[in-house]
Amino acid sequence: MLRSVVALAIPGVAPFEFGVVCEVFGVDRSDSGGPKFDFRIATADPGPVTTSLGFDMHIADDLSIAADADLLAVPAHVIEDVDPRYLEAIRAAEARGAWVLSVCSGAFTLGQAGILDGRKSTTHWMHTDKLSAMYPKTEVDPDVLFVEDRKVVTSAGTAAGIDAALHIVRKEHGAAATNVIARRMVVPPQRDGGQSQYIDAPIAECKSDSFALVAQWMLENLHEDLTVDQLARKALMSSRTFARRFRADMGTTPAAWLNRQRIIRAQQLLEETDLGLEQIAQETGFGTAAVMRHHFVRVLQTSPMAYRRAFGAREAS
């Protein structure tokens, strides 16, 4: 069972991501029926450790305390050239079967240590391409809040570290203990969806005036059952030529582009109106709420209702 947790304070550590680890594992919640961890903080050279915001933290313990930790946590930090002593501590933790957790860009340190090779991973959506390019032996999933692969857990950006940390607590101590921590932190014990729903997805820029006009017409008629034949006639082309040139110009097929615009429009209506799901599905061309839900889950990893709960406008109290 998970009892001892060590967080690494690497120079340039990000205070919020560091704080996530401290809040989940460093607070004694036994008075509420929650777990109490032996939580400690380690750094390579005890003393002042500079954070990414410029202030220092005083860390008393060196890396020797990580030798028997059940969980080694690596918060995000801005120093890319990591001291080899941290990498060795991470490798040792993974080798003895301990949990290893990274928060946000801390995944790059796990990659540098070599423990992501042959594993799935994630990081903040802004950096997933870079992680994949730097460490091609890991399979990077850009859409999820966190990934667990054989006790190595990588989280997406910032607050997703809470989800990843609570996942480890749930695996080791069960749902009841996790719920205690979540209630005290005033966060959901388990969030639906992934980081796709947080990614800004602007409309692709058209490279030619002809397709700009067709694309604009498509946006104005999302509620219609639009077919390639119909769009090709609008562009004064054969269906085959239209499909080929649309993909070359827009970077995707007409159906995929149209589906993405329907999702974006549905997101807008879910955020800004109180229209029912069936009406939104009709207005965006999905036809039924069930079909719209299918596409939301497939693309955004969340349902329309969950998306509305997370992002819908609320009246000021």
Residue 317 within any structural domain of the chain: no
Residue 201 within any structural domain of the chain: no
Residue 316 within any structural domain of the chain: no
Residue 95 within any structural domain of the chain: yes
Q: For residues 140 and 60, state if they share a domain.
A: yes
Domain count, the chain: 2
Task: State which of 163, 195, 227 marks the end of a domain.
Answer: 195
Q: For residues 287 and 262, state if they share a domain.
A: yes
Q: Is the pLDDT of residue 154 over 90?
A: yes
Task: State which of 195, 220, 251 marks the end of a domain.
Answer: 195
AA letter at 123: T
CATH number, domain with residue 269: 1.10.10.60
| Axis-axis angle for helices 160-185, 15-25 (nearest 10) | 50
| pLDDT-derived band at 165, boundaries 50, 70, 90 | very high
Minimum mean pLDDT among 92-106, 128-142, 162-176: which range? 162-176
Task: State which of 195, 225, 246 marks the end of a domain.
Answer: 195
Q: For residues 52 and 190, state if they share a domain.
A: yes
Residue 37 within any structural domain of the chain: yes
Q: For residues 73 and 183, state if they share a domain.
A: yes
Distance separating alpha carbons of residues 146 and 14, to the nearest angstrom:
18
Q: According to the model, what pLDDT value does residue 316 have?
A: 37
| pLDDT-derived band at 207, boundaries 50, 70, 90 | low
Residue 18 within any structural domain of the chain: yes
Residue 56 within any structural domain of the chain: yes
Residue matched to tokens 């950006």:
157
Neighbours of 129 (CB within 10 A): 11
Q: For residues 261 and 214, state if they share a domain.
A: yes
Its pTM stands at: 0.72
**Do 76 and 13 meet the contact criterion of CB atoms below 8 Å apart?**
yes
Q: For residues 214 and 122, state if they share a domain.
A: no
Q: For residues 118 and 19, state if they share a domain.
A: yes
Q: According to the model, what pLDDT value does residue 210 have?
A: 61
For the stretch 247-294, pLDDT in tens is: 887 778 889 889 988 998 898 899 889 999 999 999 999 999 999 999
Domain that holds residue 233: 209-311
**Do 269 and 284 meet the contact criterion of CB atoms below 8 Å apart?**
yes
Q: According to the model, what pLDDT value does residue 317 have?
A: 34
Residue 289 within any structural domain of the chain: yes
For the stretch 209-246, pLDDT in tens is: 567 788 888 888 999 999 999 998 988 899 999 898 88
For the stretch 178-192, pLDDT in tens is: 989 998 998 877 776
Which helix H or strand E contains 148, and what residues bound it?
strand 146-149
CA count, 13 A, side-chain hemisphere, 145: 19
Q: For residues 92 and 183, state if they share a domain.
A: yes
For the stretch 68-119, pLDDT in tens is: 999 999 999 998 889 999 999 999 999 999 999 999 999 999 999 999 999 9
Distance separating alpha carbons of residues 128 and 131, to the nearest angstrom:
5
Q: For residues 306 and 271, state if they share a domain.
A: yes
Q: For residues 191 and 226, state if they share a domain.
A: no
Q: For residues 224 and 188, state if they share a domain.
A: no
Q: For residues 163 and 241, state if they share a domain.
A: no
Q: Is the pLDDT of residue 309 over 50?
A: yes
